[in-house]
Amino acid sequence: MNPRRIALLAIGGNALLKEKERGLQEEQLENARETAEMLARVVAEGYALCVVHGNGPQVGNLLIQQEAGSGQIPPYSLDICGAMTQGSMGYMLERMLINRLRFTGLDAPVTSVLTEVVVDKEDKGFQDPTKPVGPFYPEFRALELMRSKRWKMKEDSGRGWRKVVPSPKPIEIVQLDAIKTLLQSGSSVIAGGGGGIPVIRDASGFLVGVEAVIDKDRLSALLAAQLDADLFIILTGVAKVALDFGKPSQRWVDRLTASEARKHLAEGQFPPGSMGPKIESALAYLEGGGHEVLITTAEALATEDPATVGTRIVRD
């Protein structure tokens, strides 16, 4: 069997839970249906598709649910909460993509893989946790949680106190071989949800879950490189990358080499809070042996020609 071209597509958690939505199951299923239409277009182009989704809004809601019921049912740790959202979101995307592929006559299998990702227990992120997760707490409750659970917590802009956790770099994808096998067998695969379930290896090499959040874009770049993906698709809020964004001299870019992208990044063209992390992920993938990155919006990918849409970043 000839190896299939692989496309890895990274979507945010807001693909299923949009801003100002309540998080109802019906809302998320409808959003999953819309997302599946876009994913099916990539499959129709002949790619073996791997999807990595964010889970920030979903984990946040789950932590709020657990806090509300903590007097009756002990809450789960963050790694298990990540696994729970991988399962629920994977199921919603999986079901809708199976149905969409059948509707379009492709009728190909779709599989979700519960994905653990190893991080370094000595990662500097564990010494200085910065990633806020979960609900806001009044100060008295935060002090109680810091004492009883030894949580790290920080006051957040006058809105209350929040738990902060490390965001270590991903170094190993435990289910990598299984993901590769599924892709080459013809399945579309949903993997690495939320950046993966964070685990460390103990002195015996056994896996141990940890309280952390792995950046979804970092994990996507690592997975795309290790799959030797032909195309890494990063979805964002604009149809193309722009130089001098928001200025009178703004101009859209169809294509960049890795060295051009790196130069513009160093010049401050891509701010840390917006396009910067996407460009950094693209460069990490290309530096890891990747071939081509496509940056665009979900709407553009769903309605325009995938061969010409968005901005392409390629190796020099």
149 is annotated as an active-site residue: no
**Alpha helices of the chain — where are they, by DSSP H?**
25-44, 56-68, 78-103, 139-148, 176-184, 216-226, 258-266, 276-287, 298-303
Helix axes 25-44, 78-103, angle to 10 degrees: 60
Catalytic pick from 131, 152, 169, 240?
Answer: 131
SS3 state of residue 313: strand
Rounded distance, CA 89 to CA 163, Å?
23
Q: How far apart are CA 30 and CA 162, in angstroms?
A: 31
Q: How far apart are CA 49 and CA 165, in angstroms?
A: 31
Q: What is the dihedral of CA 297, 299, 305, 308, to 10 degrees?
A: -20
Q: How far apart are CA 91 and CA 111, in angstroms?
A: 9
Q: 131 catalytic, yes or no? A: yes
Tell me the backbone φ, ψ of residue 34, rounded to 5 degrees. Answer: -65, -40
Tokens at residue 307, please?
Answer: 């061969």
Write down the catalytic residue from 13, 192, 193, 196: 13
Catalytic one among 31, 195, 216, 290?
A: 216
Q: Which of 60, 134, 192, 278 is catalytic?
A: 278
Indicate if 152 belongs to the active site.
Answer: no
Task: Check if 2 is active-site.
Answer: no
Q: Taking the CA atoms of the chain, what radius of gyration do you get in angstroms? A: 20
Residue 278 appears among annotated catalytic residues: yes
Catalytic residues: 13-14, 131, 216, 278
